[in-house]
C-alpha cells in the first residue's frame, strides 16, 4: 500500500505532465479564441491526460477494468469541482491584470493559470484518493 506522501508525489508528477498539456493547448489557442474558452479547452484535455496517467501510474493498484467507466465519470466530476477554483482564479487574474503586472505580457495568460492550478491540484488529489480511486481492488489491470 502506498503512503499518502508517495501518492501525492506521483500525483504531482502526473500533474506536471498534465500541466504541460494544459499550457501548450492554452498557448496554441490564446490568439485564436477567447482566453476563457482557450482555458476551458486546455483544462479538458489536461483532465483526460490526468485520468489516463493516474490509472497507469499513481493509482494503478486501484484501477480496475470493471470500474473504468464509473471511475472516468467520478474523475470528471472531481475535475469539474477542481475547475471551479481553477477557472475562477484564472478569470480573476486575467481580469485584474495590466500590462505592468507581468514583465512579459505574452506570458500573462499562462502566469494567470498558476494560482488556480495549485488550488485545483490539492482538491483533486483529495477527491482522487478518497473518492475516485478509493479502496483496493482484486481486479487490477495494467493498462488504461
Whether 138 is covered by a domain: the verdict is no
The pLDDT score that the predictor gives to residue 100 is 56
pTM: 0.70
Q: Which residues contact 117 (CB under 8 A, 6 or more apart)?
A: 19, 22, 86
Average pLDDT over residues 117-139: 81
Examine the pLDDT at 32 and tell me if it is beyond 70.
Answer: yes
* 111 located within any domain: yes
Domain assignment of residue 49, given as a range: 4-132
d(CA 113, CA 4): 26
> What average pLDDT does this structure show over 101-124?
78
What whole-number distance in Å separates Cα of residue 22 and Cα of residue 49?
9
Residue at 140 is within a domain: no
Q: What domain count does the chain have?
A: 1
Query: Is the residue at 141 inside a domain?
Result: no
pLDDT in the model for residue 139: 43
Amino acid at each position: 500500500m502506498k503512503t499518502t506522501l508517495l501518492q501525492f508525489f506521483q500525483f504531482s508528477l502526473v500533474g506536471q505532465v498534465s500541466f504541460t498539456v494544459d499550457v501548450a493547448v492554452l498557448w496554441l489557442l490564446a490568439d485564436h479564441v477567447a482566453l476563457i474558452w482557450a482555458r476551458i479547452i486546455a483544462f479538458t484535455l489536461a483532465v483526460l491526460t490526468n485520468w489516463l496517467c493516474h490509472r497507469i501510474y499513481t493509482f494503478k493498484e486501484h484501477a480496475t477494468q470493471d470500474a473504468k467507466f464509473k471511475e472516468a465519470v467520478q474523475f470528471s466530476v472531481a475535475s469539474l469541482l477542481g475547475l471551479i477554483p481553477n477557472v475562477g482564479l484564472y478569470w480573476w487574474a486575467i481580469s485584474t491584470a495590466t500590462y505592468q503586472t507581468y514583465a512579459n505580457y505574452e506570458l500573462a495568460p499562462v502566469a494567470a493559470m498558476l494560482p488556480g492550478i495549485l488550488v485545483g491540484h490539492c482538491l483533486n488529489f483529495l477527491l482522487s484518493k478518497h473518492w475516485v480511486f478509493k479502496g483496493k481492488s482484486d481486479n487490477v489491470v495494467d493498462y488504461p
